Structure 1
Amino acid sequence: MDYINFNAEGMNGCAEKKNNIFCSTFYPKMTQKEKCSQEKAQDEDDEEYEDEDDEDEDAIQCNAMSREGGGQKAWKFCAVILRALSLVEWVNKRRRIMPFVVPTFLVLLFVPALRATVNDTTRKIVQDALFDALNSVDSATGLEPSVPDGAIVSSQVANAESKKLQFTGDVLEVATQFLVKKYGVGILTDANEVLAELSAPESASFLSQLRTKRQSSSDYSNPPSGQVCQGPPKSCFDPVHDRIRSITGYCNNRDKATQANAVTPIRRLLGTTSYSDSLQAIRNASVTGSPLPSTRLISNKLHDEGSTPNFSPSVNHLHMQIGQFIAHDIIFMPSSVAKDGSNLNCTSCSSPTTVSTNCAPIPAPSDDKYFTPVSKTEARCIRLTRALNGQSGFGVRTQIDQNTHYLDMSVVYGSSDCEAQNVRSFSNGLLKTYTGMGYALPPQTKNDTNCQSKNPYYCFTVGDFRNCLHPGLLPLHTVFIKEHNRLAVKVKSARSSWNDEQIYQFVRSIMVAQWQHIVYNEYLPKLLSDKYLTDFKLKTMKPGSGSFRGYDTGMNAALSGEFAAAAFRFGHSQSRQDFARQDATNKSLGAYDLGYNIFYSDQVYQKSLGGTETMLMGLIKTAAMQVDRYFSFPIRNQLFEIRGQNASGVDLIAVNIMRGRDVGLLPYVKYRDIVGLPKVQNWNDLASTFTAGNIAALKTVYADPADIDLYSGLVMETPISGGQLGPTASWIVAEQFRALKTGDRFYYENQVQNTVGFTQDQIDAIRRVKLAKIFCENTDIITNINVDVFDLNSNQVSCSSIPDIDLKWFL
């Protein structure tokens, strides 16, 4: 298979068919005359669905519904929906693919002619429930006091597309509750059959457009004029999708165009959830009938590191940081928002009733040493907003991933078209940088309301919103931006006729391939034992050994809730309190404290201390914390804390455990079956996978082993020999990375029919890539580096002895 062929022959071919998407992407644009001619033809097509006879037919249907009792309001809604369906039908005739389900609950309110499998009485019941739910959601607006920008710091800010899904999800959730309360869960099958009967293709959420008050005033909800941030593909079988991975993830799986793309649901390993009402209410009771313990209490009793940190003897702090970079590439579970799109203030213990039902504050014990009571009469809670509900049918609450689920460097390039455009210079394929300090940093932004640092220490704009979550992320963002630009300069030198788009897409494809190789060839072998790497086929192949033939269109690459909300959060245990700086001679330049630097960026502006490069050296040369049940003080007490205001942040471990309950993860013992571990009937049954000390600790907070939260259970398992995780955590992590490999049509080692991947020589060139070399090439101070970049005790070698990626195979 040939890689993208940017040659004269290709240009000549495109001269004859400039409407071809591949050609318009990689070769000179149409002349203005040609463009106008094409637009005129398109306008003539547009007029087809605006036929007057169709309008008359629509009016007849709407008038009939109005006479049947819907009234004027129903008539107006009906007109909007039927016109939308006319548009969808017209689009369908042109074999287009639409990205979102038409909020079908809206359509079913007004469409009388559905198949006879559901009777009219049921349809009326469903219609009434949806009207009541819509009114209920709208009337709840008064509960949510306005919160000024920046007043509530959040790392999971929902974008415009996610907010649209939440409005749909909130209505469906409330309607589900109404139906179940009155008629029982059995009616949900019929209610969803009504939705299934609707044959309209997927489209945008009309309800969120009709209720504009739901939209936020943030940049996410107001993209530049005419710009679509989450645009649908015209066709997954366009030649461009043979060659180029879309920013949003659309069309990666051509059989399921939206699967695992940005703003789509997570999946469930066991196909079910654990809610107290089986639908959405957070699990709060033990199997014994007593209340489950507060997750802050669990954190205090099980996860406090005490006065003696436990450091890894062999794994460095960089492994933690790359792990977080991976997480930010593939995991972004947005938080619910208020009706105006702003962050919810879920600080008060009463916020579920006074602010929003999407608040889930965590009670702190009355004797808590850090989160002390607000007053003698008021207890303190740790704020937590529930993950945004993106359900699209009647039934169980559903969470989404706002990023693409794939390993595609969205952390650098973005997961929406708007994010992608914000980081590009649109000159010679380069990404934007800021060089005001005399060294390269990502481009600055003055509009980040989460940023706690002020002028001149602005935060930054990159592909992922969380880049300034703490300073340890910025060295990696900087290095990968510089690596992209380094390769772009080389490509421009070798192919001077290529335009910006050609160079950008060409380099992006190589960058993603290098990233995937680093994850599978260097990161995972330091995390998982050889058994799991082998059993789940996670090992990369050696140069010259052929290509990977395991791509499976039936593999859902979407993230599992168990991975995103529990297993891959193991890395919080690796995080130190002190982040060291070291110079090229390994001399210490001090350290910064994690707890005082969450969403503060001033550390990377410290030119006298070497900026981001000495921070990177510190990550390489210091030990990570051991992966176990203990977590550093800032992780458990100071996340999002404002400097000088104790207890203004959150306990990340209490949040992790509560997040598991929020998204409906089953208790830990339920997952042992899929791993092949013995069933747990009593505490003694844990002895094969837990130390006696950890079992004793669990008994101090849980009434029964069946109550153990998944997150606590995973980090308390005894690690498998040769890996850092226990058996259940290893299985969940390995299963996910298998899905990301075999379910990704563009995985770098693949050779897939009707997909233009890399040649064998190109694949072999990528297989020789080392993360250490990327660090060497994109820093000034690193001349010698650990040959095994994640091994604390690795021998150092000269940067010149590590081969660079050889672009001759690509050009």
Structure 2
Amino acid sequence: MLIDSDRPHDLARNSQGTALLGDPRNDENLIVSQLHLAFVKFHNAMIDKLKADGVNPGQLFDEAQKLVRWHYQWIVLHEFLPLLVGQNVVDTVLKRGRRFYSTFWRREPYIPVEFSVAAYRFGHSQVRGGYRINDNFAGAIFVPPGSGGNDLSSGKPLPPERAMDWRNFFKLSETGTPQLSQRIDATISRPLFQLPFIPPNMASNPASLAQRNLLRHLTFGLPSGQTVARRMGIAPLSAADLADVAAIDAGLAKSTPLWFYVLREADKRADGRSLGPLGGRIVAEVFIGLLQADELSYLCQQPSWRPTLGEGGDFKMADLLKFAGVGEAPVLPSLAEASAPPAETPQPAEVAAS
């Protein structure tokens, strides 16, 4: 895959500075853009390894593509999901089968709206107001338009002084402390209440991410969290768990938008360290169901497969970054030490669109 040899710290771009990507959203912010670059480098390192192993040149790309996908799928199934929903939930779905996500009626994999519009938006509550990228640069997720402050927006060539040091996000050595995400709960960071790419004060197109999520609940006609919980045989949240919502609107406390419900459930049932039983089951069944229904996945083609990289038959995100050659500190231009992002207080997620 393409990497500009003169700018190896950035995605390949055309003469207008646009990243050469299948999905332009992967260049909307610096962190996702650099993660995409890490996967490009992982793919290229896999090509180099297979060449050294003597793989037939005519089979090289297909074999690299398969192994890159399978190692990534292994990370999702054996590292990401256990951290997010709990190992017991993953084991239950794998051993006893899926109860709710079925591809039978569609006859092909699909993304249910309960996942895409609600449960998998849990990550919005985990976003911090700002992040340290490397020893010389830190920035806020967003800054107000025209303020001139440093933020982590992308969509343009990345200066070398902003190259990612993945040690700030993953445990890649015995030293260093990665930045932790926020807890999964019904609060979101202040910058997410005013998305800079949305014009302010437009009722039909709100700039608050929380409000946009709640409006999607109405637009897609999603069932309430309580309805989904009862359908799944899970005890709904108690009145005490939603007392603050009831103080705003008693009806919302009895029929709570699914996105907000998933966040509150994670807070009350898992102390914000993972998803709760409803949110976790939705996310686990969809991920595992997609892998089981994908004819090219290792879970479908070769369920007994083990990673060929890593140690002891296991492979984690830290192993991927190291193999890709981005597990060490980047070489940076000499700069004055950048200040850390300003402290910010998470704000309560809005519970009613107005």
Structure 1 position 673, deviation (Å): 1.5
| Deviation (angstroms), 1:617 | 2.6
Is 2:316 the partner of 1:770? yes
For the structure 1 residues 781 and 769, does the alpha-carbon distance in structure 2 shift closer, same or farther, using more than 3 Å as the test? closer
Correspondence for 2:234: 677
Return closer, same or farther for 1:497/1:563 CA change in 2, 3 Å cut-off.
closer
SS in 2 for 1:591: strand
Alignment of structure 1 residues 161-310 onto 2, 5 Å: none
| Distance in 2 of aligned mates of 1:678 and 1:770 | 34
Partner in structure 2 of residue 435 of structure 1: 5
Report the AA paired with residue 578 of structure 1.
G
What is the CA deviation profile of residues 709-738 of structure 1, one whole-angstrom value per residue up to 9, with x for unaligned ones? 111111111233795112221121122123
Match of 2:169 in 1: 619
**Is there any run of 5+ residues in structure 2 with no aligned partner, and where?**
97-101, 144-150, 171-177, 330-354
Q: Quick one: distance in 1 between partners of 2:227 and 2:233? A: 11
In the alignment, which residue of structure 2 is the partner of 1:569? 121
The residue that corresponds to 2:161 in the other structure is: 608
2: CA distance between counterparts of 1:765 and 1:494? 12
Identity among equivalent positions (%) equals 22
Q: Deviations over 1:389-446 (max 9, x none)?
A: xxxxxxxxxxxxxxxxxxxxxxxxxxxxxxxxxxxxxxxxxx1122333x24322145
Deviation at 1:560, TM superposition (A): 1.1
TM-score (norm 1): 0.34
Distance 2:95 2:136 in 1: 38
CA distance in 2, matches of 1:749, 1:434: 35
Question: Which whole-Å CA distance do the structure 1 matches of 2:95 and 2:185 have between them?
Answer: 24
Give the AA of the match of 1:744: D
Structure 1: distance between partners of 2:136 and 2:95: 38
Pairing partner for 1:716 from 256, 260, 264: 264
Deviation of 1:556 after TM superposition, in Å, equals 5.2
CA contact (8 A) 1:444 1:460 kept: yes
CA distance in 2 between counterparts of 1:780 and 1:512 reads 19
Contact 2:42 2:320 in 1 (8 A): yes
Aligned residues: CA RMSD: 3.1
Distance (Å, rounded) in 2 between the aligned partners of 1:744 and 1:472: 28
1:653-672 → structure 2 map (5 Å cutoff)? 653-672=210-229
* 1:750 positional shift: 3.6
> What is residue 595 of structure 1 aligned with on the other side?
142
- Is 1:579 matched up with 2:146? no
Match of 2:325 in 1: 779
CA contact (8 A) 1:675 1:727 kept: no
Aligned length: 300
Over residues 572-623 of structure 1, what are the superposed CA-to-partner deviations in whole Å (9 max), with x where a residue is unaligned?
11111111123xxxxx434111113475345x723235x13x2x23223111
State how far apart, in whole Å, the 2-side matches of 1:734 and 1:774 are: 22
- State how far apart, in whole Å, the 2-side matches of 1:700 and 1:661 are: 21
SS where residue 782 of structure 1 aligns?
Answer: coil
| 5+ long unaligned stretches in structure 1 | 1-430, 447-454, 540-551, 583-587, 680-685, 752-756, 784-811
Give the 5 Å matches for 1:403-802. Answer: 431-437=1-7, 439-445=8-14, 458-495=17-54, 498-499=57-58, 502-537=59-94, 554=104, 557-582=109-134, 588-596=135-143, 597=151, 599-601=153-155, 605-609=158-162, 611-612=163-164, 614=165, 616-620=166-170, 621-640=178-197, 650-678=207-235, 686-687=237-238, 692=240, 694-704=241-251, 705-717=253-265, 718-720=268-270, 724-751=274-301, 757=302, 763=306, 765=308, 767-779=313-325, 782=328
SS across alignment from 1:592: strand
> Secondary structure of 1:657's partner?
helix
Distance in 2 of aligned mates of 1:677 and 1:590: 45
Q: 1:666 to 1:646 in 2, by over 3 A?
A: closer
What is the 5 A alignment of 1:45-124? none
Highest relative contact order (Cα 8 Å, sep 6+), 1 or 2?
Answer: 2
Q: Distance in 1 between matches of 2:308 and 2:129?
A: 38
User: How many angstroms does 1:630 deviate by?
Assistant: 0.3
Q: Distance in 1 between matches of 2:18 and 2:186?
A: 33
Question: Post-superposition shift, 1:524?
Answer: 0.8
Question: CA 1:781–1:570 in structure 2 vs 1: closer, same or farther (change >3 Å)?
Answer: closer
How far the C-alpha of 1:677 sits from its partner, in A, is 2.7
Q: For residues 259 and 74 of structure 2, what CA distance do their matches in structure 1 show? A: 28
Q: 1:558 to 1:497 in 2, by over 3 A?
A: closer
